[in-house]
Structure formats: structure tokens, C-alpha cells
């Protein structure tokens, strides 16, 4: 989860670095990312109207880190983009690392 004022957490530091024009290496793999605000609203709704003993999954869509790190600079107004997948500082997706395309 990420939200306003998350500038001290790991992803917040990545965003700040991108805003300053620094390129940041993107790790291999995937993860789920979501905005904390709708998650918080959903938690309140579950607390107020959820069934006792029920569980809820509040998550975003699973995305490859390279896709997120490529889109993130556009969203935060950064002037520079991440290094290309072929550059040593930007790790390629697992399929490319292991020779599968």
C-alpha cells in the first residue's frame, strides 16, 4: 500500500529519487500495489457492516516491478525514466534472466 506522505518508506524513497531525476534500479519480480485510501475506507466498511468471522482481501492488481518503475516517473512528473531492461542497473524480468521469453 502507498498513500500520501509515504515518503519515508522504501517506495516513497524510490518516488522521491525519481522526482529528483535519479534513476533507480528496478528489482525482478512482481507484487501487488494499492492506494491506502480505498483500503482504509474498505476496512471501515468491513468494521461497520461486515459479517463476524469473515475475512476480506484488500489488494491491488499484481504488476511486474519493471512496469511499475516505468510508469511511476510519468505519474510523479519525473524528467528521467528508468534505465532500459538491457541496462545492467535495471534488472530484467525473471523470464529474461533465465533465458525464457
pLDDT band, very low/low/confident/very high, at 92 (cuts 50, 70, 90): very low
Structural domain contains residue 22: yes
Structural domain contains residue 54: no
Integer Cα distance of 73 and 86 in angstroms = 19
55 vs 13 pLDDT, higher one = 55
Number of structural domains (the chain) is: 1
- How much is the pTM? 0.61
Structural domain contains residue 87: yes
6 vs 38 pLDDT, higher one = 38
Structural domain contains residue 21: yes
HEC string of 56-85 equals CCCCCCEEEHHHHHHHHHHHHCCCCCCCCC
Burial-class residue 19 by CB neighbours within 10 Å (0-12, 13-18, 19+): middle
pLDDT band, very low/low/confident/very high, at 7 (cuts 50, 70, 90): low
Structural domain contains residue 23: yes
pLDDT in tens, 23-39: 777 778 898 888 899 99
Integer Cα distance of 69 and 4 in angstroms = 18
Per the structure block, which three cell numbers stand in for 46? 468491513
Structural domain contains residue 42: no
Domain span at residue 70?
10-35+62-97
84 vs 77 pLDDT, higher one = 77
Structural domain contains residue 43: no
Structural domain contains residue 28: yes
Amino acid at each position: 500500500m502507498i498513500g500520501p506522505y509515504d515518503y519515508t518508506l522504501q517506495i516513497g524513497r524510490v518516488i522521491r529519487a525519481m522526482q529528483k531525476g535519479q534513476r533507480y534500479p528496478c528489482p525482478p519480480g512482481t507484487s501487488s500495489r494499492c492506494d491506502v485510501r480505498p483500503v482504509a475506507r474498505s476496512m471501515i466498511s468491513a468494521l461497520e457492516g461486515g459479517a463476524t468471522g469473515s475475512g476480506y482481501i484488500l489488494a491491488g492488481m499484481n504488476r511486474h516491478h519493471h512496469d511499475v518503475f516505468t510508469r511511476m516517473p510519468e505519474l510523479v512528473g519525473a524528467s528521467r525514466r528508468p534505465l532500459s531492461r538491457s541496462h545492467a542497473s535495471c534488472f530484467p524480468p525473471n523470464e529474461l534472466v533465465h533465458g525464457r521469453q
